[in-house]
Structure 1
Amino acid sequence: MTTVLGTDGEPGTDAVTTHDRATSRRGAVRSVVATLLLALVATVLGATSGPALADEVPEPPAATAVVPVEPPVVTGTSRYGSTLTASPGTWSPTDASVAYQWLRDGAPIGGATAATYRLGAADHARAVSVRVTASSPELDDAVTTTAPTTVGPALLVSRARPVVSGTRRYGKTLTASAGRWSTGGVTLRYRWYRDRKPVAGATRRTYTIKPGDVGHRLAVRVTASKRYHQTRWAASLSTGLVKHRRDVRRTITYSVRRNGSKASLSTFRTQAAQTLADARGWRGGGIRFKEVSKGGSFTLVLAKASRVPSYSSGCSSTYSCRVGRNVIINETRWNKGTSVWSKARRSIRDYRHMVVNHEVGHFLGKGHARCPGKGKAAPVMQQQSKGLQGCKANPWPKTGEL
């Protein structure tokens, strides 16, 4: 054992051995470790139960108003006469009660406080929405309004198409039914069609068949309208082909030529054929005329005025004539008509109809007729080139002449 001397070199009471020093150092280390362990424990405990408790999420405040979860929805067709329905929506608390108020252009509609609302006349073309108020005791109300929807016209639907009835012959009258519509009280308008093209002026429920309808098909379109409703139309089925007054009972052939005339033979041929085929003419009596290249039952001649008397002493250069199988049309009359016809303010085309019908009528065995009374239509067999005797100029055979 080593001895450590005191300051004066002699052994004394303050002398410390090597063993004592070591023991003292070990004690100091234990003390530091213990202090550190205590501090660590304190830190860990403080992280879970110390002042950090102030950082925890606070409890939510108590609700003061009803809260919307899902907004109300309006279903139904936004048209006049239809009914709209509002769903209540979803709210918190779930037992909240709801109240409805329907709005027109944003303003309340009197008495419209149910979940359903029938759209009326006042709503047409206006914006309709519903305001829903949710309430719960001790909470403030929640209010939401649906998006507005503009109210359109009600649908108007054809349930059955119109039907055309009557005899489809020239001179007869056809009648259209109204068809059947999805609502009553509609206003109806009629329009007649020939081969799918509108007939000028034919806008009544009835229609008297015209000469130009012969050989064609007719139909009617009915348009229905009503206030606050859409306007819609429906068409009938087309008729069968329109017929002449009478079916063909006799066919007569004829040929065309000219005698000294410088007028267009093509025009003469075409216009004469139109006259003979017209439903207003002799064709209405059941006679069909067919042109042939030569010969035929009679010859239709366009003759220079000076050559007309050559057919018979009974013919003159002033007027047209019929001699045997020759039906002679005076070129001058064909081109100019007569002063009587001009004073009646009738066209040259109508005069040509008249003179062909008159002279062909003689070939058919018809004699001259007189005016049946002032203001009445002249018979086609009256000598209208010379005078009307108080009658009205008329280029077509009357029904009694057929």
Structure 2
Amino acid sequence: MNKMLCVLRENKEIRRKYFSTAKEEISNTNLQLLIWICIFTIVIEITLLIFAKILLPTWVLKQEHFQVAIINVGFIFLATKLKSIHYKNDKMVANICMVYMLLIATCIIKIDVFYEPETLSSFIPLLFVVTPAAFVLSLFRIYLTMILVEVEYIIALFMVKDSVLISADIFYSLAGLSFGMLVTAIILRLRCKDNYDKLTYRRLSMTDSLTGVLNKSTALTQIGRYLLTRIDNTHCALLIIDLDNFKKVNDKYGHQVGDRLLNQVGEILHEAFRGNDIVGRFGGDEFVVLMKNVFDDEIIERKCEEILKLLESLTLDEENFKISCSMGAVIAKKKNESLERLFKIADDALYEAKAMGKNGLVKKIDK
């Protein structure tokens, strides 16, 4: 029982992450699916109408058939328009998809129930089976839509059919509803799991496995992108952090201890800087940090003091080996600064910090 509850909680968390991290992708997918489904529905409707005329000479075209066509054409134009303007409100797009399904279901109920009240319904159970694959919606939205259709269907049955047919139709519709709900949960689980795997792979490809911070390529890419899109009068700071005497650590204690130290340094940098700052490992024992929105120049000194104190608290196998680092920083106050220029200034500052006896900071301001 506990294992089942854990699985349910895990599935719920995976779904939550999916719908919170892939909003734009889901919105775009639903709009594209809406266009395809509308086109497919129109083609199927025309094909069935042609066959009905050929195979059923007494069959009569009904107004609901025109309504289905009009609904699909209208939603094609709506979805195409929203895609063209890159509409990103995922909740509104989901609501549009729900309204579409309810309108189509209403037309099918009218055709299936009111025009042939003396026979069993055939389309509604099928509708419940195909609904899960229609759109990328949350379980709540899909289940709510299916339940609303079922309620509407049952009300329609009691309006025109006798008790025997009502019982049979309700049974078959509930069977279709149950199967549809099960398939919905399975399909959504697969979609969420696929998204979770993609996010995991993307995160691993962007992260330095030893330290847990961004790898060199990702860090430099994100820093360069930020510098290009930085708005006027927004200052930032680029820091290069280099561990002092790291080679001695590897030589004296071995590479395993050195790797453990790098891992601890990664944790310290995560703790010291804000979530929106860019922290990466440049290589070896060197790290690079971009601090965004630096309105107070003195914050650099405070951050560096915090890092030095945290490093001093580290121990290597209970021996008194002092861990420290040297830091070079540049505060960029001008617009359109290149990463190459800022990195050279910060690297020169780091060199000065090393020359001054290490375990400290040299800060420069690029005005």
TM-score (norm: length of structure 2): 0.20
Which structure is higher in helix share?
2
| Structure of larger gyration radius | 1
TM-score (norm: length of structure 1): 0.19
Bigger relative contact order (CA 8 A; separation at least 6): 2
